[in-house]
Structure 1
Amino acid sequence: MSLAVAVPLLSACFSEPSPHEAVSQFLVGWQTGDYASAAERTDGDPKVVRKALEQAGLQLDAASIRFSLKGLSTSGDDADAKFQVRIDLGDNNPLWQYDNNLPLHLVDGVWKVRWSPSVIHPQLHPGQRFAVKVPPTGRQPIEDRDGDALQTEATLYVAGVFPARVKDPVGVCERLFQVTGFAQDRLLSRIRSAPPEDFVPLVTFGGNKYAQLRDRLDEIPDLQIEKRLQPVKPAQPVDIIGSVSANTPETEQQLGGPLLAGDTFGQGGLQKAYQDQLTGSTGTKVITYDLKTSEQVAELAQWPGRANTTSVKTTIDRGVQQSADLAVSGTAPATLVAIDAPTGEILAVGSHEMNQEKDGLDGRFPPGTTFSIVAGEGLFGAGGLDPEQKVPCPADRLVGGARFQQAMPTDGTVPTLVPGTAPTVAANFANGCVTALASLSRRVSAGALTQAATRFGIGGKWSLPLRSFSGTMPPAASDAAKAKIIAGQTVRVSPLSMALVAGAVASGTWRPPTLVTSPASPDLSSDVPPVAPPSPIPLDTGTLAKLRALMRAGVTTGTSAPAAAPGAKVYGVSSGVTYVDKKHSRSLSWFVGWQGDIAVAVLTETTDPAASARIAGQFFRSARNAA
């Protein structure tokens, strides 16, 4: 226990027979841990008084005890001091404050404190002790959109003791420190401050860690192991849900303060973002116990703590998630983000050898010619470019000094809908002809491209509780710069941002993404209000009709044909793009589109430009069958 002087109590200039000096020396001695000095100013047995004052601090696990004198009255040989006690219970617990009286009387001409345990607290009587009771609280679940838990229960192993049965608490804590690294003094304080007959959790282990340490733990006398089920094993999407671990010394350092042994710690995803809501805060009670019977006598103070939220409810759809997981379970690294087009709610994030949060929500990739969906809003808007206009698709083209090359089919033909003629803008869009699409940069202004990107949420601010990336687009200062934007070479987007682009074309309105519907913010205790999500942005109906027709052609006659699925029509475009990432060349395949109300973006790391369209087709077939 660490005690510190908080306030100058009384001047020591008073001399006997005034009681002021006795009050000052007793309280200062108690406050600073000089219990022998404090005991000398009482009429009790110095050994008994010294032990009682010391034990009170240990039994409360007090970080500090401070006093404020409120008044002093004298009547003949008797006096009475009124004072306030402020006890810091430590471990992030509240401050306990109460008022008490200090009775004094003259003994052989010297003022002495009339000793009894009630000097420590008015309700503490002989044969009693303090204890701090900390009822455990279980972790709340993260749920899907239907209220089903997105994690399963796993067994945690809690090592603890029953204080009344421990013969050598110091030895137990020393050996636990050697095994686990938890501070020995903190473990000992928890034992000393707990109710004698209650099980006191000291250290919690996951299954693997417990298996490694079991033999060493079994050797510690009086240490008990309790099994507890906690909802900690994440279901898909595991990176979005996040993992949960038992409390460790490293955890306490990360959170900036000691935790209780039974506490669990979210290590990533929503489990980490909503740590406070999922665990709440543990309530605390200060009680007195009878030393002979170990029965509770009185409850002196109680702090309920902050209650857990009922759960963290997400927009994840278990059936859609299963379809996404199945679709991406190939050999190449891939991620698939599916949203509900009418609402922007994230339904699923599937992945294979890619991270669902880092790559699916927060990835920063060039979209290739799938970005022509966004650019098309500027090109076709306000009565602009005619989709039926003929535009050649050469293998190589210079635009404003920038060179673009089109990957040709293996048979050497130029992609076109009508053999022997120049393809239309619609055909080039459907086939992702980069040379043709780049040449359209002269037909659109920089302002129109910027406005189109804004209407599709590119570069906007979202309010998701996890890391996410809405995209960036460089200035379109020249024809070459505009061409690179249309070709999706200098733009950076995440699969989530492109799924929202598809959802906007499908529904007619761009909407910001939503992942969690309750609670509203992952930091309910913050004084800073949560960031409001951006407003939905309606798109021009005339432009929408053209974009939808082009994206339908991408699946029926263009390179996205592998995405076709039975049931509702599939719309989409795909592309392949190669770029340099941290001095390494990477090849990506994209598909961006929708079927019914489900819009998706699929990203695969491969040289096969049709790979993502095939994944999308499998996803749509599976999702349709599961509906």
Structure 2
Amino acid sequence: MTTHRAGVGRARRRRRWPAVVVTGVLVAGAAGWAVVYGPLAGEEAPRSADPGAVRTARAFLSSWEAGDLAAAARLTDSPAKAEETLRSFTAGLEIAKPVLTPGAARRVDGAAGAGARVPYRARMPVAELGTWSYGSELAVARTDAGWRVRWELPLIHPELNAEQRFKLVEEESAELAAVDRDGKAISAAEHPSLVSVLGLGGGKRRGEVQVVDRITGETRATAVRFGPDPGEGGGPLRTTIDARTQAAAEKALARHLDGRNAGLVAVRIDSGEVVAVANGPAGGFNRAFQGTYAPGSTWKVVTSAALLAKGAVTPESRVDCPKYLTVGKQFHNVETSEIPGASFRQDFIHSCNTAFVALRGRLANDEMTVFAKEHFGIGPEWKTGVGSVDAEVPVPASETEKAAALFGQGRLRTNPLAMASVTATAVSGTFHQPLLVKGTEQPAVATKPLPSGVVKQLRSLMRDTVTDGSAKVLAGVPGEVGAKTGTAEVTEDGNNNGWLVAYDDEIAVACVVEGAESGSGSAGPVLRDLLAERAGGGGAG
């Protein structure tokens, strides 16, 4: 049912790259920037932080994110200097559509009275190289003109100061040799999506954002690196790709996209190894690993796991599915459908948004954030062997945001990599950090297994979604296939993003298609063809 959407960095030795293209750097405020995927809102502030200070910090970040740099600057205590610096910060870095997410504010007492400090997380897409993610903090103080952000260079980035600036150094990579999970060579000609993911075929841009001395230009540090490295000792890059599944994924995307953007990831349920990663267009931006999307109703897999594990519902519990439910705003279902007297099982398999909104009081405000981290590994950094953007499950700042988050909206941010992992965890009970490049040193992510009874219930719900619910598009695929659909609104009047997550006996897979009508109608045919081809030709290794 309709929901309300509000570089490759290998864990190996690094070498310094020669500069082929150097662009200078002190923040390119492109006037065309748009707020990405819904309204910006921070985590709920502690009571000791003045609400006015928190609102000012959020408004500053929202204006900066939207590209209205003059409005952002007016919220500081030094508007002229702030606007000049915001416009020059990323000049030459080719950054567009930043995503700035505030965290929980804290009260700060000073000589001028109580103020606040508000941390935030920045995601800066750098051209087609990847996403530069970092954290910083705003200080807010009361002035004669009211609450204002105290202007200081480190609020933009911790390493930006009067002595340092940033610059982007780029080059084209040499051709990269790579092998699949069985040690067989894989090529750009056979697997065009792996050009952007791994750098196959050579000629792929790579580079780094450097911290340099403002006067001498001397490099002092590297803020972020993008792009492929050669294998150790010049050897081939050893991947976990299953060539047959990869080929089937690329073929299915090419057959059904009709020019739309898309991303797909398939992982082994028993290990988290990535057996396929494909994008539309093939060789374009790696949406599968680096996209940031609201997951829509596919997130109900996680919400259901939390509710079932807590005993807040059972599949047989009655949870009505009305046409509308208002929690600060009006939530509804596809075509304002309803299921009077519905069971939770019916709510899940037919993807009823209003039923999930009605259950918001059975979970604490931070419960989804904690549950997603403890059981699904979402929160800590993942290392797959290539550049990826981690999913985010912020603590909701209001009842409205909490209601939206339960069915995959609000400020939730995921991508096909994260949702393939979520699906694998849900149907196995155990989180395995996804891996694409063998030998990658992965940080430890401490998680707890899901209760076995919850896993059994989730598998049953997802199987019923295929046989009797919104994922009937997969009903003809042989074997025990389970799934969950999702449709996320990009804007109130625009097209949706269509999602589908699914599993068979070996893999879990997630697909998102932009500019779609629904998950079942857009991502459904892609996964149907992929899973059917796998069922007809054996498993992934």
TM more than 0.5? yes
- Alignment partners' CA distance in 1, 2:203 and 2:432: 38
1:144 partnered with 2:180? yes
Deviations 1:444-466 (A, max 9, x none): 22243222211212222111232
| Residue of structure 2 in register with 1:446 after alignment | 365
| Residue of structure 1 in register with 2:428 after alignment | 507
Aligned partner of 2:344 among 425, 446, 456: 425
Q: What is the Cα deviation at residue 541 of structure 1? A: 1.2
Q: What is the Cα deviation at residue 576 of structure 1? A: 1.1
1:241 partnered with 2:203? no
CA contact (8 A) 2:269 2:425 kept: yes
- Alignment partners' CA distance in 2, 1:556 and 1:252: 48
Q: What is the Cα deviation at residue 251 of structure 1? A: 9.2
**Residues 148, 535 of structure 1: alpha-carbon distance in 2 compared, 3 angstrom cutoff:** farther
1:321 partnered with 2:242? no
- Alignment partners' CA distance in 2, 1:363 and 1:604: 11
- Alignment partners' CA distance in 2, 1:252 and 1:488: 34
Amino acid across the alignment from 2:365 = A
CA contact (8 A) 1:397 1:405 kept: yes
Q: What is the Cα deviation at residue 246 of structure 1? A: 7.0
| Residue of structure 2 in register with 1:406 after alignment | 333
Aligned partner of 1:312 among 202, 215, 237: 237
CA contact (8 A) 1:374 1:501 kept: yes
CA contact (8 A) 1:357 1:468 kept: no
Q: What is the Cα deviation at residue 480 of structure 1? A: 2.6
1:613 partnered with 2:541? no
Q: What is the Cα deviation at residue 479 of structure 1? A: 3.4
Q: What is the Cα deviation at residue 532 of structure 1? A: 2.2
**Residues 150, 437 of structure 1: alpha-carbon distance in 2 compared, 3 angstrom cutoff:** same
Aligned ranges 1:7-406 → 2 under 5 Å: 141-151=177-187, 235-245=192-202, 272-275=227-230, 277=231, 307-308=233-234, 310-329=235-254, 330=256, 331=258, 332-353=260-281, 358-399=286-327, 401-406=328-333
Aligned residues with identical type, % of pairs: 26
Query: What SS does the corresponding residue of 1:408 show, helix, strand or coil?
Result: helix
Q: What is the Cα deviation at residue 254 of structure 1? A: 10
CA contact (8 A) 2:500 2:523 kept: yes
| TM-score of the superposed pair, with normalisation by structure 2 | 0.58
Q: What is the Cα deviation at residue 502 of structure 1? A: 0.5
- Alignment partners' CA distance in 1, 2:314 and 2:229: 50
- Alignment partners' CA distance in 2, 1:150 and 1:251: 20
**Residues 149, 443 of structure 1: alpha-carbon distance in 2 compared, 3 angstrom cutoff:** same
CA contact (8 A) 1:505 1:547 kept: yes
Aligned partner of 2:354 among 435, 449, 458: 435
Query: What SS does the corresponding residue of 2:319 show, helix, strand or coil?
Result: coil
1:550 partnered with 2:466? no
Aligned partner of 1:572 among 483, 493, 503: 483
Amino acid across the alignment from 1:436 = A
Q: Which has the higher contact order (CA 8 A, sep 6+)?
A: 2
CA contact (8 A) 2:198 2:386 kept: no
- Alignment partners' CA distance in 2, 1:510 and 1:252: 32
**Residues 478, 355 of structure 1: alpha-carbon distance in 2 compared, 3 angstrom cutoff:** farther
- Alignment partners' CA distance in 1, 2:313 and 2:202: 56
Superposition RMSD in Å? 3.1
- Alignment partners' CA distance in 2, 1:352 and 1:557: 30
Query: What SS does the corresponding residue of 1:591 show, helix, strand or coil?
Result: strand
- Alignment partners' CA distance in 1, 2:397 and 2:322: 25
- Alignment partners' CA distance in 1, 2:385 and 2:243: 20
**Residues 450, 253 of structure 1: alpha-carbon distance in 2 compared, 3 angstrom cutoff:** closer
- Alignment partners' CA distance in 2, 1:378 and 1:358: 30
| Residue of structure 1 in register with 2:376 after alignment | 456
- Alignment partners' CA distance in 1, 2:206 and 2:527: 40
**Residues 562, 449 of structure 1: alpha-carbon distance in 2 compared, 3 angstrom cutoff:** same
**Residues 613, 537 of structure 1: alpha-carbon distance in 2 compared, 3 angstrom cutoff:** farther
Q: What is the Cα deviation at residue 374 of structure 1? A: 0.8
Task: Report how many aligned residue pairs link the two structures.
Answer: 345
| Residue of structure 2 in register with 1:540 after alignment | 451
Deviations 1:118-166 (A, max 9, x none): xxxxxxxxxxxxxxxxxxxx9762111111112279xxxxxxxxxxxxx
CA contact (8 A) 2:500 2:524 kept: yes
Query: What SS does the corresponding residue of 1:619 show, helix, strand or coil?
Result: helix
- Alignment partners' CA distance in 1, 2:312 and 2:351: 20
Q: What is the Cα deviation at residue 435 of structure 1? A: 1.2
Amino acid across the alignment from 2:236 = S
Q: What is the Cα deviation at residue 237 of structure 1? A: 2.5
| Residue of structure 2 in register with 1:49 after alignment | none
- Alignment partners' CA distance in 1, 2:319 and 2:438: 47
- Alignment partners' CA distance in 2, 1:621 and 1:347: 16
**Residues 246, 542 of structure 1: alpha-carbon distance in 2 compared, 3 angstrom cutoff:** closer
Amino acid across the alignment from 1:394 = P
- Alignment partners' CA distance in 2, 1:251 and 1:327: 29
CA contact (8 A) 2:264 2:510 kept: yes
| TM-score of the superposed pair, with normalisation by structure 1 | 0.51
Which is higher, the Rg of structure 1 or of structure 2? 1
CA contact (8 A) 2:267 2:507 kept: yes
Q: What is the Cα deviation at residue 468 of structure 1? A: 1.2
Amino acid across the alignment from 1:517 = K
**Residues 147, 575 of structure 1: alpha-carbon distance in 2 compared, 3 angstrom cutoff:** same
| Residue of structure 2 in register with 1:471 after alignment | 391
**Residues 253, 494 of structure 1: alpha-carbon distance in 2 compared, 3 angstrom cutoff:** closer
CA contact (8 A) 2:499 2:518 kept: no
Amino acid across the alignment from 1:391 = V
**Residues 540, 467 of structure 1: alpha-carbon distance in 2 compared, 3 angstrom cutoff:** same
Amino acid across the alignment from 1:476 = P
- Alignment partners' CA distance in 2, 1:574 and 1:152: 31
Structure 2 unmatched runs, 5+: 1-173, 211-224
CA contact (8 A) 1:591 1:612 kept: yes
Deviations 1:351-394 (A, max 9, x none): 22376763101111011111111111211113221221222222
Deviations 1:521-559 (A, max 9, x none): xxxxxxxxx552424542111221221111111111110
CA contact (8 A) 1:147 1:313 kept: yes
CA contact (8 A) 1:512 1:536 kept: no
Q: What is the Cα deviation at residue 474 of structure 1? A: 2.2
Aligned partner of 1:497 among 414, 418, 422: 418
| Residue of structure 1 in register with 2:58 after alignment | none
CA contact (8 A) 2:264 2:288 kept: yes
CA contact (8 A) 2:323 2:332 kept: yes
CA contact (8 A) 1:565 1:620 kept: no
Deviations 1:183-233 (A, max 9, x none): xxxxxxxxxxxxxxxxxxxxxxxxxxxxxxxxxxxxxxxxxxxxxxxxxx9
Deviations 1:83-103 (A, max 9, x none): xxxxxxxxxxxxxxxxxxxxx
- Alignment partners' CA distance in 1, 2:351 and 2:377: 22
**Residues 151, 425 of structure 1: alpha-carbon distance in 2 compared, 3 angstrom cutoff:** same
**Residues 453, 355 of structure 1: alpha-carbon distance in 2 compared, 3 angstrom cutoff:** farther
| Residue of structure 2 in register with 1:487 after alignment | 407
**Residues 344, 389 of structure 1: alpha-carbon distance in 2 compared, 3 angstrom cutoff:** same
| Residue of structure 2 in register with 1:82 after alignment | none
CA contact (8 A) 2:331 2:354 kept: yes
Deviations 1:45-93 (A, max 9, x none): xxxxxxxxxxxxxxxxxxxxxxxxxxxxxxxxxxxxxxxxxxxxxxxxx
